[in-house]
Structure 1
Amino acid sequence: MKLLYWSLVASTALMGSTYAADRSAIVAELEANGQTLAQQQSFTFRLFDEPTSLDPGLLQDAIGANVARQLFEGLYEQDNKGNIIPALAVEHEVTPDKKTHVFTLRRDARWSDGKPVTAHDFEYAWKRVADPATNSEVSWYIGLMSIKNAQAVIAGSKPPEELGVVAVDDYTLQVDLDTPISYFPLMLTLSTTFPVPAWAIEKHGDKWVRADNIVTNGAFRLEAHVPSERITMVRNETYWNKENTILDRVNALVINDANIALTRYLANELDWTEAPSGQFPRLKEQFPDEAIAFARFCTYYYAFNRSETGQQELQDVRVRKALSYAVDREILTDQVLQGGQVPTYTFTPKFTAGFTAPDLPHEGWTQKKRNEEARKLLADAGFSEDNPLKLNLLYNTGEEHKKTAVVIAQMWKQILGVETTLENLEWKTLLNRRSQNNYTLTRHGWCGDYNEPSTFLNLWSDVPDENVGGFFDPVIDGIMKEAKTLDDPQSHYTTVEAMLQDTAAMIPLYNYSVAFMLKDNLKNWPLQNMEQRWYAKNFYKIVK
């Protein structure tokens, strides 16, 4: 017996709200308001760096995911408010014990080479990510999904064939879980879960993502890719919902410097770009209809290297707490960055659905008291003016990262006498250094993969590939494992967050803001989606 989670066929109400872009409805609404679609339908946006990959099973960054969502499509996606809606799935059934999920796929979906998209493509994709031979940096996510045998497959103790995902037939996908998790459907919008074409990968190997080799199933296909320069995507004529895709072309330009990107935006070479650090107030006053800011489902933090290769002094909780306390987060966000960032003392954003933040004593202190406590802690740890703490801090290229590092290093110097050496690295180099634990202290950020506290707290539990710095606490790990089995795990989440901050596992600095410039003739941007999962197929331009 299976319980019906939802059915596209059975729910006409759901069908009416399933796909955000409906060309006929958009045209009718525009005509009613005396507006028309622009003749040229293209969207150009900025990438701050080259994505780690265009392969859904390998990419590990948000910038790559922004591209992958245009080229590929999975079982679910998000609407403009961040709710999950069906993409390739037309029905989803769950067994009473919530350990088996069965998806029925739409039969009209096609790859860009004309082949049908089938359940076998999902089975291949998920097993490929989990397979140690793939060496995917995001294999941990398959384990996090609690898919049966995932941890053993990832560890290499069981073959990929034993992963609990199987194509029952061409259009039926069955997923078996080791542990039922209520938020499993929310996890299926991440690019890691997208299908990939086995025949293209087997033919071209790691070169399958090149423009002349790649096969995609999303609303757009890859026309050109010049690494570290640009990515050009055009309408995919085999896409099942192409009639409701209005844009003809999507361009991603790699521009490292936010100020240069703004200049190009003002010259109408970009439709979207981040507001440079500290400039949003001016831009909002000058361009009130184009400058936009709101909180984002992400935490910016500094990670300690707690592994065997880490600096010995940072293994002392007193040192870690002192460094955290001495950062004046309000000055950083309100006077330095000025982009709508929200100061935070917790790793999990307080606006996460269902999350009750712990009562942290140091959060309620004045900054003066935090500074005093920081000095005492560092002195107790054996540091003084004659014996200063010395650190090396990594950050990747970007004005916001640089400003943050410089200001925090100054705070540590002024308040604690800490001597900090700053090291600026390109994005991929920073990722490599972090993965090798070749650092003392590093800039990091984490954006939730789904709107539930575990998407943040699991990083400090059983996700070794993303647990930057080698942190591990068996008590926290046990609590998080137990939380997966509960209908209401919220008290467990509060406990874990309190434990993380009591041990200063990291230095949470602020929750990101989305502070960007958007041309006012580009419509249907998901302003109410705090995860900012956007799909260019829903955008359109009007005549201004």
Structure 2
Amino acid sequence: MTLTSMLKATTAATLVFAASAAFADSHASHPDTGEALATEQTFTYRVGDESPSYDPGVAEDVDGSAVVRDLFEGLMNQDAEGNLVPGVATGYEVSEDGKTYTFTLRDNAKWSNGDPVVAGDFVYAWKRAAAPELASPYAWFFELMSIENAAAVVAGDMEPSELGVSAPDDLTLVVSLSQPLPYFPQMVTHATTFPVHKATVDAFGTDWTTPENMVSNGAYVMSEFVPQEKLVRTRNEMYWDNENTIIETVTKLVITDENIALTRYLAGELDQTDVPAGQFPRLSAERPDEAISVPSACSYYYTINMTDTTNPALLDVNVRQALAMAIDRDVIVEAVLAGGQKPAYTFTHWATAGFETPDTPMASMTQDERNAKAVELMTAAGFGADNPLDVSLIFNTSEAHRSVAIAVSQMWKQTLGVETELGNQEWQTFLETRGNQDYEIARGAWCADYNEASTFLDLMQSDSGYNDAKYSSPRVDELMAEAKTSENPQAAYTEVEQIIAEDMPIIPVYHYAEVNMQSADLGGWPFTNFEQNWYSKDLYKIAE
């Protein structure tokens, strides 16, 4: 007997279009909203740096994942509210014991070269991403998904063929879990679980992701790519729902300077860009229909290197606690950023589904009390006016990150006499530096891979691929293992947050808001999707 949790594929449009060109007609209307559509259906947006990869098995950053969601499609997608909707799969069944998921694939999904998308493409992609040979930065995600034998495969102790995923036939994908995981279906919207076209990878190796070589199955194909400049994607005529895709061309521009990007937005060159730190109040007053701030599933923190390559002073918990307490988070969110962000005293974002933010001692103090306690702790560690602490703090190139780092360094100097050397690095270099523990204190941010607290707290496990502090707590590991099988994991999450607040391997600073300038004629943006996972196929331009 099985428990069925089938998501039926529904017709996305209420109008039948003879050809996709119908959407280019200025008199055409949106099939669901009835809004008149603009003749030119393009979307141009800004990012601050180039992503390391657009290979689903290797992609690791937020901006890169947005591109991958356009180029590839996984088993399930998200709608504007973040709910699961059919992707390549029309639905799934889960066994009564919760350990076997059977996905049914649609029979009209195709690759951009016309090949059918089959269950074996997912099997190949998952085994490829989990195998040590690819060195995927997200290989550990398969362990988090509780897929059978994932830990052993990722560690190289088992062959990838032993991973708990199989394809009995072309339209059936079976996933075997080592234990029930209630939020497992949410996890298959992540880029690492997307299919890959094996023949293309075999033919071109690491060059398979270039525009001239890539074969993809999403609503768009990569048509142009100039690293550190732009990436253009155009509609995939082979996509199973192409007739209901409206945006024709999506252009991602790399503009490192946020203020230059804002100038270009105001000149009409961009449809969307980030709001530079501190400018949201002015822009929202001047352009209330374009300045947007909504909660976003990311937490901003400073990670502290706790290995033998660090500043020895940072191995003293008193020092870490003092540095954390001396940061006035209200000043950061209200004066430096001023975009709707909230102070963070826990790692998990306050708006995460089902999460109850626990009390921590620091959160209940006034800033004056925190500062006094910080001085006391730093003195106990042997640092003061006669023996000031010197630390280095690195961040990836961004005016916002620089502004926050400057403010924090001034707070440390004023309250504790700490001298801070600031350094910024280009994104890919920064990731390598931080990942190799070649730093003392580094900017960190984590955006949820799914809407559940474990997506944040799993990073604090000893073996997490993104535990850049290399923090190790047997109790945290134990609690996170318990949480996966608990009907109510909140008690475990509360204790983990309290342990983090005591040990302070990371210093939470603020919880994100998505703060953008966005053209008023851009429709379909998923403002109520907490993860802010957007798909260009759901966007459209409204006629003036």
TM-score by length of 1: 0.96
Aligned to 2:515: 515
C-alpha distance in structure 1 between counterparts of 2:455 and 2:33, whole Å = 42
Find the counterpart in structure 2 of residue 491 from structure 1. Answer: 491
Residues 391 and 34 (structure 1), Cα distance of their counterparts in 2 relative to 1, 3 Å cut: closer
Whether contact under 8 Å (1:23, 1:245) holds in the other structure is no
Distance 1:103 1:541 in 2: 34
- Would the aligned equivalents of 1:220 and 1:235 in 2 still touch at CA under 8 Å? yes
Change (3 A) 1:23 1:323: farther
Q: Aligned pair 1:49/2:49, yes or no?
A: yes
8 Å Cα contact 1:294/1:340 also seen in 2: yes
1:396 aligns with 2:396: yes
Report deviation, 1:83.
1.1
Distance (Å, rounded) in 2 between the aligned partners of 1:322 and 1:297: 27
User: Helix, strand or coil for the counterpart of 1:208?
Assistant: helix
Secondary structure of residue in 1 paired with 2:320: helix
SS of 1:501's equivalent in the other structure is helix
1:298 match: 298
- Tell me the amino acid that sits aligned with residue 264 of structure 2: R
Q: Distance in 1 between matches of 2:33 and 2:474?
A: 60
Alpha carbons of 1:277 and 1:414: their partners in 2 closer, same or farther (altered >3 Å)? same
Alpha-carbon shift at residue 33 of structure 1 (Å): 9.1
Change (3 A) 1:167 1:388: same
Matches of residues 201-280 of structure 1 in structure 2 within 5 Å?
201-280=201-280
Give a deviation string over 1:462-486, Cα, whole Å, max 9, x none.
5431111101101110111011111
Q: Structure 1's 109 and 406: CA in aligned 2 closer, same or farther, altered over 3 A?
A: same
1:511, 1:6 → 2: CA distance? Answer: 34
Deviations 1:298-345 (A, max 9, x none): 100000001222221111111100000000000011011112111111
Percent of aligned pairs sharing the same letter: 47
Pick which of 315-324 and 32-41 moved more.
Answer: 32-41
Deviations 1:192-235 (A, max 9, x none): 11001111001000100000000110000010100000001011
**Counterparts of 1:314 and 1:507 in 2: how far apart (Å)?**
12
SS in structure 2 at match of 1:251: strand
C-alpha separation between the residues in 1 aligned to 2:374 and 2:462? 31
Match of 1:540 in 2: 540
Pairing 1:172-211 to 2, within 5 Å after superposition: 172-211=172-211
The 1:383–1:24 alpha-carbon spacing in structure 2 relative to 1, beyond 3 Å, is farther
Counterpart amino acid of residue 288 in structure 1: P
Letter in 2 for 1:215: V
Q: CA deviation at 1:36?
A: 2.2
Tell me how far apart the structure 1 counterparts of residues 34 and 349 of structure 2 sit (CA, whole Å). Answer: 42
Q: TM-score, normalised by structure 2?
A: 0.96
Deviates more, 1:465-474 or 1:35-44: 35-44
CA distance in 2, matches of 1:131, 1:175: 17
CA contact (8 A) 2:306 2:471 kept: yes
Aligned twin of 1:447: 447
| Residues 350 and 511 in structure 2, CA contact (< 8 A), matched pair in contact too | no
Shift of 1:32: 11
Q: Distance in 1 between matches of 2:14 and 2:140?
A: 36
In structure 2, what is the equivalent of residue 464 of structure 1? 464
Residue 384 of structure 1 aligns with which residue? 384
Shift of 1:28: 8.0
Q: Deviations over 1:474-507 (max 9, x none)?
A: 1110111011111221111111111111111210
Supply the distance in 2 between the matched residues of 1:91 and 1:279 (Cα, whole angstroms). Answer: 44
Q: Give the conservation status (yes or no) of the 8 Å contact 1:23–1:244.
A: no
Structure 1 contact 448–531 (Cα < 8 Å) conserved:
yes
Q: Deviation at 1:258?
A: 0.7
* Secondary structure of the corresponding residue to residue 428 of structure 1: helix
User: Residue type matched to 2:426 in 1?
Assistant: E
Whole-angstrom CA distance in 2 between matches of 1:34 and 1:124: 42
Residue aligning to 1:417: 417
Query: For 2:361 and 2:230, how far apart are their aligned partners in 1?
Result: 48
Question: Structure 1 counterpart of 2:81, which letter?
Answer: K
1:365-380 equivalences in 2 (<5 Å): 365-380=365-380
Q: Check 1:315–1:33 CA distance in 2 against 1; reply closer, same or farther (3 A cut).
A: closer
2:59 counterpart letter in structure 1: L
- Mark the CA change 1:326 to 1:24 in structure 2 (over 3 Å): closer, same or farther: farther
1:12 matched to which residue of 2?
none
Distance 1:136 1:353 in 2: 28
Superposed counterparts of 1:30-69, under 5 Å: 36-69=36-69
Partner of 1:85: 85
Q: Which residue is 2:72 aligned to?
A: 72
In 2, distance between residues paired with 1:200 and 1:44? 29
Match of 2:143 in 1: 143
Q: Could you tell me which amino acid in structure 1 is paired with residue 384 of structure 2?
A: S
1:110 and 1:239 in contact (8 A); partners too? yes
Deviations 1:103-151 (A, max 9, x none): 0100100000000001001000010011001111111111111111101
Residue matched to 1:317: 317
8 Å Cα contact 1:23/1:243 also seen in 2: no
Alignment partners' CA distance in 1, 2:391 and 2:236: 50
| Counterpart residue type for residue 214 of structure 2 | I
RMSD: 1.7
| Offset at residue 22 of structure 1 (A) | 6.1
* 2:29–2:37 CA contact under 8 A, matched in 1: no
Q: Secondary structure at the match of 1:492?
A: helix
- Counterpart amino acid of residue 407 in structure 1: A
1:31 to partner: Cα distance:
9.6
Structure 1, unaligned runs of 5 or more: 10-14
